[in-house]
Structure 1
Amino acid sequence: MGMSVTISGATEQDAEQILKLQYLCYQSEAELSGDYGIEPLTQPLDSLRAELADGTVLVARLGQEVVASVRGTVDPDGTARINKLIVHPRMQRHGIGARLLRAAEAALVGERGAKRIQLHTGQRGGGNLRLYRSVGYETVGTSKGDDGVTVIVLEKPAETYATTA
């Protein structure tokens, strides 16, 4: 590739690139579920800008291009929720998703005081499940989203993030 991928906090200037990447990355999930009205494909730019202002949003860059992103928040009870971990299809299987996930965990625990970390994935997300389990997540149940789609809920205690980093 010639360049290394760097991870940093997302800025307002990254919003459009993140949204375009999100749209690209969620096409396969929409196809699997037969639902192109899922939130990642319909999220407006203003909503993403609000997430940039209020939550933890990280990006991975190859040069100036945003090639991956992840978002997270921490609830008042100390539960961090990681979502929308996306990696450009041409950059997948190079460890970028795992690096980005670990960076998000570190930020949510270290900067926002999370006590446990949760995320979810579609029931057909075999590659996603392998990634999450490889960094210490365990299935704790299932949940139905507002759109009626059932997802697998995974969790790990916050103190374990460093041991899997």
Structure 2
Amino acid sequence: MGMSVIIAAARPDEAEQILKLQYLGYQSEAELYSDWNLAPLTQTLESLKAELAEHRVLVARLGDEVVGTVRGWVDEDGVGRIGRLVVHPRMQRHGLGRRLLTALEAQLAEDGASGGYRLFTGHRSLGNLRLYRRLGYRETEVREVSRRMSIVTLAKPGETSLAA
């Protein structure tokens, strides 16, 4: 009998697991861009613990193991800012990224994200771009940050702005 994956708020004692998963998950991004100084790969445990206290952080748990995570907050303009969506490589392509993202959007909506949602990814991260587009995100900006990398910003309207 298999276990099912549960999406829930991250606990402070999961910070180290989240950081290790983040490091593992961003290896493929680092290879894609030949850049091992990406922020998710250089984040400290102390900085992650601060984010756990200040932002919404969700995890996907398979038993006691954290196999996915995403974090976000609502900015001063009422926009839900979403970042660091990571799913363990062995658990990818099973809908966990979608589940994490939609659960976070719902929580950010409760927190007052009336201005929709924004996130970003690298221009070569085709799997990420496909997922975000399938979930209703549309490209709003592409900004070159280095010779090897451009950042693609995507936005999605919030439910309240759709109803207006």
TM more than 0.5: yes
1:25 matched to 2:25: yes
The aligned counterpart of 2:36 is 36
Name the counterpart of 2:58.
Answer: 58
- Deviation sequence 1:68-99 (CA, Å, 0-9, x none): 00010111111111000000000000000000
Match of 1:76, SS? coil
1:84 corresponds to 2:84: yes
2:60 corresponds to 1:70 = no
Displacement after TM superposition at 1:158 (Å): 1.2
Distance 1:161 1:64, change over 3 A: farther
1:3 corresponding residue in structure 2: 3
CA deviations 1:27-74 (Å, max 9, x no partner) are 111111111111111100010001000001000000010000001011
Secondary structure of 1:21's partner?
Answer: helix
Alignment: residue pair count: 163
Flag structure 1 segments of 5+ consecutive residues without an equivalent.
none
Instruction: Give the Å deviation of 1:151.
Output: 0.9
Tell me if the contact between 1:109 and 1:115 (Cα under 8 Å) persists in the aligned partners: no
Which residue of structure 1 aligns with residue 14 of structure 2? 14
1:108 and 2:126 correspond: no
- Contact 2:21 2:68 (C-alpha < 8 Å) held by counterparts: yes
Contact 1:102 1:161 in 2 (8 A): no
Instruction: Decide whether the 8 Å contact of 1:69 with 1:84 is kept in 2.
Output: yes
> Secondary structure of 2:35's match?
coil
Question: What residue is the counterpart of 1:93 in the other structure?
Answer: 93
SS at match of 1:140: strand
Shift of 1:112: 3.9
Q: Secondary structure at the match of 2:84?
A: strand
Aligned alpha-carbon RMSD (Å): 2.2
TM-score (normalised: structure 2):
0.92
**Cα deviation digits, residues 130-159 of structure 1 (max 9, x gap):** 11111111111113559x942111001111
User: Could you list the runs of 5+ residues in structure 2 that have no partner in the other structure?
Assistant: none
Report the TM-score, using the length of structure 1 for normalisation.
0.91
* Matched position secondary structure for 1:113: coil
